Amino acid sequence: MLAWPDEQLKQMIPTAEVPRAFNVGTAGCPVHGKKVYAKGGTYPWVTDPNRPFKIKCPVGGEWYPSNDFYAYFRGGMKDRSLLTGPYADDGWGWVGPNGERYWLVGYACHWGSWRRFALNGLDSLAQAYLLTGDRRYAHKAGVILVKIARTYPALDYCQQSRYSQISGGNYHGKILNCIWETGVFTNLARAYDAIWDAIDNDKALAELYGYPSGEAVRNLIESNLLEDGIDAIFAGKIRGNFGMHQRALASGAIVRQTGPMRKWLDGILTKDTASHSHIGLNYALYNLVYRDGMPYETSPGYCFGWTRNLYTTAAVLAKADINLFELPKLRSMTDAPLDMICIDRHTPALGDAGNVWGGLTPKSPGVYQTAYRAYGDARYARWLERIGGTGEKSFKTFDSLFDPPIKVDASAKATPQAKASSRLMDGYGMALLRNAANTMGVSLYYGMRGGHGHFDRLHFDLYANGQPMMPDLGYPDFMNGYVSGIYSWSKNTINHNTVTVNRVRQQGNDPGVVHHFVDVDGLRAVDVDAPTTYADLTMYRRCLMQIETGPDDGYLVDVFRVRGGEDHVYSLHGPPGAFETVSGEFGEPAKGTLAGPDVAVGALYDDPVRSKPGYKGTYYGYTGSGYSHFVNVRRRLGGSFVGQWQRAKADKARLQIRVLVQPGQELLLADAQVSPIKHKRLIKYVLVRREGKDLDSTFISVIEPFRDRPAVTGVKQLKVPASAVALQIDRGKRHDVVIQQPEAGQMVQLSEAIRTDAAMTLVRYDESGRPAKTIVVGGSDVRIGQRRVTPHRIDGEVTGVNPKARQVIVRFKPGGGPGALDALVDRHVCFVHGQRRVWHPVARAEATGDSVRLTLADDLLIGRFRVERVEGSKIVTRTAMMFDPIYAGSHATDASFGSYTPVRSAKRGEIILTRPMPRPPERSRDVWLCDVGPGDRAALEPVFVDELD
């Protein structure tokens, strides 16, 4: 950057008059169309600082626009005779013969002139000055910063951008859109802070712009840039995902010496407002972040953005003696991204996150270095070792240059990686089943759907062979309401491993309720029901059992029950790669798509409004089936179905899916693209469909990842009462019998050999046909051969809670105690209050009198609000709260945490209790909602395990 003469540098930085566009348009290149995305990704065009306001096509290498916009810009954008050639653009786009507007200059301005040249250049120069003290860097940074400050108040994304134009003039921002501007403004404030001391003596800088002194230059920057930016944050014109504008505000406030800095900074913690993007952290960390540390946005990628933003905000606030690291939830937000990792290499690609190939989200040395310094937890040091952020590799970010390297001492290195264990993140709504060797994992999502979530409740991902074997399709083509395939396919229900009802995407947004969760040697399982996911259902329930066949091997039994509705489609898919049918005869591929022989791929055939030619609105509201994305649809003619997938780009990473028979079900094989625009690789789906009035379906499949040969050689369905499922699973000469029913209690008789009323029963037979192992979950009357089996019941009542310490006191029933207290650690306790069931993992257990004090691994506090008024048992608040559906059955308490009053319901700022609080809270006081209260039942899943040999 030093090589650019001042005058030229000054000239090249755009002013507010030049429009910005982060996309050229939806049609791609004027010549090569959408191929640019396949070739160059989301932002495919090439820019070059030596060719300002021009972009190069990544496919053909041709440059756009045809006119010299830079000359037009230097002339004050007046001389229209300069708008020459076939692709002339005056800044507001070139309109093609197809009627599409291509924002050629806008794209060049956004990416080339602003981001890559001016903004990145400014950051690098300011950082170089901080590191070297060489004033030449500060001077060039000043040239850029002053030019920006002069135009900053006039920058108005609403009036000057493609995105605002297509969304009706209502999209805020300054240089960039309101979300990205949070980062821009943060960096502008940081750059000013970095070069601040060099400005007063920089006469050349003052002269270049015609100011009498360096002080006058600083006044300009503080009033035109910092003050205007802070105003824009409060006006919502600079506003991002949670944490982004807070970071921007903290950065601006601390750098700007005058103004009510303390009030601004305190507001970051204490502000009480109905706006969930501006609410203070004291509330946000409970009302917008689930108790296990996951924010409400669902996508692990976007959620980790909160953690990252709060860490940088924390670093800024520390300069004003505000310590965010004391907030226990920030620590949970650091742990949660690690808690959900499967087989040590994959973060579930849930919602708008990840891709079919897998990978890790929290690869941020900056966050975990700061976390390790703040908390000293060896887990973070181990993670830093894993992602390369210790020792010589410590210096991964600019800020890390100012701290000594992280040294992991031998003892921390030697601490064995905690044994992989299954985990319920029951606040967020994710069940994780993981074998002890951490080589096979399942993540099943049943939580609420946040802004970056998909319509995918009860979808699961399977990890084995080092790979995602039944992958979520991941991040859509774009984050943009005007691209139909995002809504008809990428976010839609049918593309996920779950059930689509009545040919529409999922509707309701209550989280599922976990009825069973077990992790014992040989069997890991979750059984979760989410009936309000669709209107008119009484059951939408999946029980997934992971049954081990070796230290690294096992198979899944999937039982998905749906009651109600008139059309059910159970959808499963394997990884990208080769597919073959092992058994089952299928017809020829049908013409057209699953939506019909004449329905084109991706057509919105079931949305009369959005499918009209010339429709210009967004596609957020599309609620249809997405069936038009399936091609090569083949119907089964006969036989059972077993299919095998071989994952592409991996050796011996295979999957077998066997779908079992059910009366009236139709079985289809079909292909669909990973995504309609950027990832056109086909994925093989198996779709199982039932139609009829008031349907009652039980979809069953046996799924096995394997390397050379699957262990499962055959499956027989055994005859049992309708609500139960019993399978004989042959593994060569050995076999397993698996019996499952929604709840324990109904007697299931399987010949003389097995009689069970358990929720889950697994009996493993050896080669000579003798039972070698028995696992029973729930139930009270189980006989295997001559033996009577009784699962150990651990059951009690909550007698006290200490939410700040995450502690619950439980008095167990006589004979219902846990035995060794250590045995409780890492297990999950289910707390029951009426219809409400919540699960918490136990971190510590100690005896206290005749009771046990449990310290939980996640938060007990799940909501916090400021009282507006109290009307008997109703409390009204204006505090932003996102989690209304989870509050019924929780307990209201005041800051003394002395008494607990059950909540009947919560909706839009009205919290209705079952009775008035004993001491009604005064106006402006805070009330907390606690997940567990005295009188709740506390129980562990009753399990019996017996290995006979």
Q: Which is nearer to Zn ion, 29 or 669 (CB)?
A: 29
Per-residue burial over 486-499, b if 16 or more Cβ lie within 10 Å, else e, is bbbbbbbbbbbbbb
Residue 264 neighbours by CB distance under 10 Å: 20
CA angle at 393 for the pair 391 and 395, rounded to the nearest 5°: 105
Closest CA to 329 of 404, 242, 229, 215: 242
Longest Cα–Cα distance in the chain: 100
User: Residue 176 CB, nearest distance to Zn ion (Å)?
Assistant: 25
CB neighbours of 734 closer than 8 A, spacing ≥ 6? 764, 765, 766, 767
Q: Which is nearer to Zn ion, 98 or 751 (CB)?
A: 98
Q: How many whole angstroms separate alpha carbon 360 and alpha carbon 349?
A: 9
Q: Which is nearer to Zn ion, 175 or 340 (CB)?
A: 340
Q: Which is nearer to Zn ion, 57 or 906 (CB)?
A: 57
Q: Which is nearer to Zn ion, 33 or 550 (CB)?
A: 33
User: Residue 485 CB, nearest distance to Zn ion (Å)?
Assistant: 13
Distances (CA, A) of 449 to 38, 105, 354, 457: 29, 38, 17, 8
Q: State the residues that interact with Zn ion by CB under 5 A.
A: 29, 31-32, 57, 59-60, 454, 456, 472
User: Residue 473 CB, nearest distance to Zn ion (Å)?
Assistant: 6
User: Residue 698 CB, nearest distance to Zn ion (Å)?
Assistant: 25
Q: How many whole angstroms separate alpha carbon 445 and alpha carbon 350?
A: 8
**Tokens 């037979």, residue located:** 765
Q: Which is nearer to Zn ion, 125 or 448 (CB)?
A: 448
Residue 410 neighbours by CB distance under 10 Å: 7
Q: Which is nearer to Zn ion, 454 or 542 (CB)?
A: 454
Closest CA to 308 of 359, 371, 238: 371
Distances (CA, A) of 437 to 140, 422, 551, 762: 55, 12, 6, 21
Q: Do 182 and 248 form a contact (C-beta atoms < 8 A)? A: yes
Q: Do 303 and 294 form a contact (C-beta atoms < 8 A)? A: yes
Q: How many whole angstroms separate alpha carbon 504 and alpha carbon 622?
A: 9
Q: Which amino acid is at 438?
A: N
Q: Which is nearer to Zn ion, 499 or 523 (CB)?
A: 499
User: Residue 906 CB, nearest distance to Zn ion (Å)?
Assistant: 28
State the residue number with the nearest CB to Zn ion.
Answer: 57
Q: Which is nearer to Zn ion, 461 or 936 (CB)?
A: 461
Q: How many whole angstroms separate alpha carbon 351 and alpha carbon 456?
A: 8
User: Residue 72 CB, nearest distance to Zn ion (Å)?
Assistant: 23
Q: Which is nearer to Zn ion, 454 or 866 (CB)?
A: 454
- E strand or H helix at 903: strand 901-907
User: Residue 363 CB, nearest distance to Zn ion (Å)?
Assistant: 21
User: Residue 65 CB, nearest distance to Zn ion (Å)?
Assistant: 13
Q: Which is nearer to Zn ion, 408 or 432 (CB)?
A: 432
Q: Which is nearer to Zn ion, 461 or 548 (CB)?
A: 461
User: Residue 741 CB, nearest distance to Zn ion (Å)?
Assistant: 30
CB neighbours of 27 closer than 8 A, spacing ≥ 6? 33, 34, 96, 98, 100, 102
Structure token pair of residue 491: 């976010």
Task: With both helix axes pointing from N to C terminus, report the angle between 135-151 and 178-199 in degrees, rounded to the nearest 10.
Answer: 130
Structure token pair of residue 425: 């993140």
User: Residue 350 CB, nearest distance to Zn ion (Å)?
Assistant: 6
**Tokens 């995902």, residue located:** 241
Q: How many whole angstroms separate alpha carbon 659 and alpha carbon 668?
A: 11
Q: Which is nearer to Zn ion, 37 or 765 (CB)?
A: 37
User: Residue 59 CB, nearest distance to Zn ion (Å)?
Assistant: 5
Q: What is the DSSP string of 1-21?
A: -TTS-HHHHHHHS--TTS-B-
User: Residue 349 CB, nearest distance to Zn ion (Å)?
Assistant: 7
Closest CA to 518 of 446, 429, 430, 424: 424
Closest CA to 505 of 355, 404, 362, 619: 619
Q: How many whole angstroms separate alpha carbon 604 and alpha carbon 596?
A: 12
CB neighbours of 73 closer than 8 A, spacing ≥ 6? 14, 18, 53, 91
Q: Which is nearer to Zn ion, 63 or 395 (CB)?
A: 63
User: Residue 64 CB, nearest distance to Zn ion (Å)?
Assistant: 8
Q: Which is nearer to Zn ion, 29 or 943 (CB)?
A: 29
- The strand pairing partners of 523, in sequence order, are 520, 547
User: Residue 73 CB, nearest distance to Zn ion (Å)?
Assistant: 24
User: Residue 775 CB, nearest distance to Zn ion (Å)?
Assistant: 32
Q: Give the β-pairing of 499-501 and 567-573.
A: antiparallel
User: Residue 492 CB, nearest distance to Zn ion (Å)?
Assistant: 9
Q: Which is nearer to Zn ion, 493 or 851 (CB)?
A: 493
Q: Which is nearer to Zn ion, 60 or 405 (CB)?
A: 60
Phi/psi of residue 492, nearest 5 degrees: -75, 160
Closest CA to 191 of 151, 155, 140, 153: 140
Per-residue burial over 99-114, b if 16 or more Cβ lie within 10 Å, else e, is eebbbbbbbbbbbbbb
User: Residue 300 CB, nearest distance to Zn ion (Å)?
Assistant: 11
User: Residue 455 CB, nearest distance to Zn ion (Å)?
Assistant: 8
Q: How many whole angstroms separate alpha carbon 193 and alpha carbon 187?
A: 10
Q: Which is nearer to Zn ion, 33 or 692 (CB)?
A: 33
Phi/psi of residue 718, nearest 5 degrees: -100, 150
Distances (CA, A) of 626 to 23, 583, 686: 26, 28, 15
